[in-house]
Amino acid sequence: MKFVKPLAVMAVSACLAFGVVGCSSSSSSSAASASASSASASASASSASADADAAAAAEVDELIAAIQVQERTDTTDADCAAAKAAWDALTPAQQELVEEADYFGLDTGDASKDDPLATAPDKENEILVVSFGTSFNDSRVATIGAVEKAIQAAFPDWAVRRAFTAQIIINHIAARDGEQINTVDQALDAAVEAGVKNLVVAPTHLMHGAEYDELVAACKPYEDKMTIKIAEPLLGEVGADATVINDDKKAVAEAAVAAAMKEAGFADAAAAAEAKTALVLMGHGTSHTANVTYDQMQTVMNELGYANVFIGTVEGEPEDTECSVVIDKAKEAGYENVILRPFMVVAGDHANNDMADPEDEESWFSQFTASGAFKNIDCQINGLGEIPEVQQIYVDHVKAVIG
């Protein structure tokens, strides 16, 4: 006997079947919507986090810019501390976003090896060694620090202290390393307060340029408070023109070339010339009338028979010391190899970046390389202050004013 489902039952079954299918579709849509919402929220959170990271990095850049100045103010010390605290608060990923990350992140050596000589003088006679300064710790120890030690060894009965003329460098060292170095005014004020009667100012500056003139002016207001004598800079008196040289320039030329040749493995400049190797000594350069000093140094090199030694300057002042001109000189003379070395008391920013940075297309290394005229270009990162014979010149200049 055949049984047939009642129509009502069949209708209910169909409705149930339809209902199940419909519920499943609705559930899938809800899940997809929830997933999309979650992804959107995650993206928003990620964007907010990225914005926060960028903002934190930008704040550090602003704080660094605030202390990259040459004037000291009542808030300078606090500004330096704030910049360091903000940097330390960043995560490593955030620090990579800081445009001036090298300000705190570049390793220039152990600052603890440097003695800032900032304590109050404890004698009536003081020698104040004044330098422009450098934030490169290892170089500061090897150059400025070495000159200070040589002077102290030569004059054990005198208090030897330090001052820098570059506030921007003082700030950098204070912010990054917590090392406090006196300005000239701070050092002079401390000398007055300590009762110093005789003060010899020993500048480590290269020449009678703008920095030396500013130092002389800074000492003027203190001349009625103690006896002040200012020693000669490294290269002595300037002289009227490029042909006028002195014993200091000759001694520095001989010492600088000898040190460079030793570092490069040559017996002397003549041996380097035989190997078709030129030595380029890169100075800073200046628009001051003392820029004739660089031409005088080239005269000295020529008179000493160093035909393969060329004087250049970062600033290209005087014009015949500009990089492209020096390249042409070395190329036209037939040299195939070049040694680049700073003609500066310290081997700091100019030596490491303007001279030797292979990633900077405007560095001297890059320009010499781009010329295609030379087989090998080597860089020596050594300041003049490292050389014992140069340190002795500074000692002799102090001795000359002490009498």
- Better-scored residue on pLDDT, 40 or 291: 291
Share of the chain above pLDDT 90, in %: 85
Q: Give the residue carrying structure tokens 């003695």.
A: 115
Q: What is the pLDDT of residue 29?
A: 60
Domain boundaries, the chain: 66-105, 111-236+389-402, 247-386
247-386 is a CATH 3.40.50.1400 domain: yes
| Residue 397 to residue 233: CA distance in whole angstroms | 8
Q: At what angle do helices 167-177 and 76-88 cross, to 10 degrees?
A: 40
Q: What is the pLDDT of residue 9?
A: 40
Residue burial 114-125, b: 16+ Cβ < 10 Å; e: rest: bebbeeebeeeb
165-182 pLDDT, tens digit each: 999 999 999 999 999 999
CATH architecture assigned to 111-236+389-402: 3-Layer(aba) Sandwich (3.40)
For residue 201, what are the β-bridge partners? 128, 230
- The answer to whether 222 and 198 have CB atoms below 8 angstroms apart is no
| Mean pLDDT, residues 358-384 taken together | 98
Q: What is the pLDDT of residue 5?
A: 41
| Residue 64 to residue 80: CA distance in whole angstroms | 8
Q: Give the residue carrying structure tokens 């300057």.
A: 313
For residue 203, what are the β-bridge partners? 130
DSSP string, 331-384: HHTT--EEEEEE-SSS-SHIIIIIIT-TT-TTSHHHHHHHTT--SEEEE----G
| Residue 132 to residue 209: CA distance in whole angstroms | 12
Residue 196: CB atoms within 10 Å: 25
86-129 pLDDT, tens digit each: 999 999 999 999 999 999 999 999 999 999 999 999 999 999 99
Give 231's DSSP letter: -
SS3 73: coil
Residue 333: CB atoms within 10 Å: 13
pLDDT at 290 over 50: yes
Q: Which residues contact 253 (CB under 8 A, 6 or more apart)?
A: 297, 300, 301, 304, 306
Q: Tell which residue, 399, 344, 381, has the closest CA to residue 204.
A: 344
3-20 pLDDT, tens digit each: 344 434 444 344 334 444
| Residue 86 to residue 82: CA distance in whole angstroms | 6
pLDDT at 271 over 60: yes
